[in-house]
Structure 1
Amino acid sequence: MLLDEKALVTLQKLGLTYYGARVYITLVSLGSSDATELSIESEVPRTKIYNVLKRLEAEKWIAVEHTRPIIYTAKYPKDILKEKRVAFNSEINEVSNQLSEVYDKVIDNEVPKVWLLRGMNNITAKTINMIKRAKRDITLLGALYSENEIEQLKEELSYATKKGLHVRVISRQSIKLNNGELDIIKNLSSVIPQIKIGGPEFSKFVIIDDKELLILFSKVEDNILDIDSTIAIWIPNVSIASYQASIFNGIWNGYCQVDRC
Structure 2
Amino acid sequence: MTGDDAPAAVLERLELTEYEATALAELLALGRTTAPDLSEAAGIPKARIYGVLDALADRGYVKIIPGRPKHYQPKPPERILERAVENERQAFERYRQDVEAMREEFLETFEPMYEQASEDVTPTEELFWVVDVGEPSEEETRSLYRNAEDSVSVITKSFEYFERVEPALADALERGVDVDVLFLHPSHLDESNRAVQRDIVAYVRETYPEVDLRFSREQLPWRGTFADPSMDYETGRAILLVEERDVPLSMRQAAVTENGSFVAGLERFFELVWEYEATDPDAVLD
Q: Which residue of 2 aligns with 1:83?
A: 82
| Matching residue of 1:23 | 23
Is residue 143 of structure 2 the alignment partner of residue 133 of structure 1? yes
Alignment of 1:229-244 (within 5 A): 234-244=255-265
CA distance in 2, matches of 1:88, 1:11: 15
Structure 1 residue 156: Cα displacement: 5.8
Q: Which has the higher helix share?
A: 2
SS in 2 for 1:8: helix
Question: Which of 111, 118, 124 in structure 1 is aligned with 2:126?
Answer: 111
* Identity of matched residues, %: 15
Deviation at 1:7, TM superposition (A): 1.3
Residues 207 and 213 in structure 1, CA contact (< 8 A), matched pair in contact too = yes
Distance 1:212 1:110, change over 3 A: farther
The alpha-carbon distance between structure 1 residues 46 and 7, as it changes in their structure 2 partners (threshold 3 A), is: same
For 1:44, the equivalent position in structure 2 comes to: 44
Q: Is the 8 A contact 2:57 2:63 kept in 1?
A: yes
Counterparts in 2 of 1:258 and 1:89: CA distance versus 1, 3 Å: farther
1:258 aligns with 2:273: no
Between 1 and 2, higher relative CO (CA 8 Å, sep ≥ 6) is seen in: 1
Equivalent residues, number? 222
Contact 2:214 2:279 in 1 (8 A): yes
- Aligned letter for 2:265? Q
Alpha-carbon distance change, 66 to 27 in structure 1, aligned in 2, over 3 angstroms: same
| Distance (whole Å) between structure 2 residues aligned to residue 159 and residue 12 of structure 1 | 28
User: Do the aligned residues in 1 keep the contact of 2:223 with 2:242 (CA within 8 Å)?
Assistant: yes
Q: Return the offset for 1:211.
A: 1.0
Q: Tell me, in whole angstroms, the C-alpha distance in 2 between the residues paired with 1:258 and 1:138.
A: 18
Q: Contact conserved, 2:223 with 2:243, CA < 8 A, in 1?
A: no
Indicate conservation of the 8 Å contact 1:157/1:167, yes or no.
no
* Unpaired segments ≥5 residues, structure 2: 94-123, 206-210, 228-235
**Structure 1 contact 203–216 (Cα < 8 Å) conserved:** yes
Aligned CA-pair RMSD: 4.6
Aligned partner letter, 1:204: W
SS of residue matched to 2:142: helix
1:208 alignment partner in structure 2: 226
* Structure 1: 5+ residue stretches without partners: 95-108, 219-226
TM-score (norm 1): 0.59
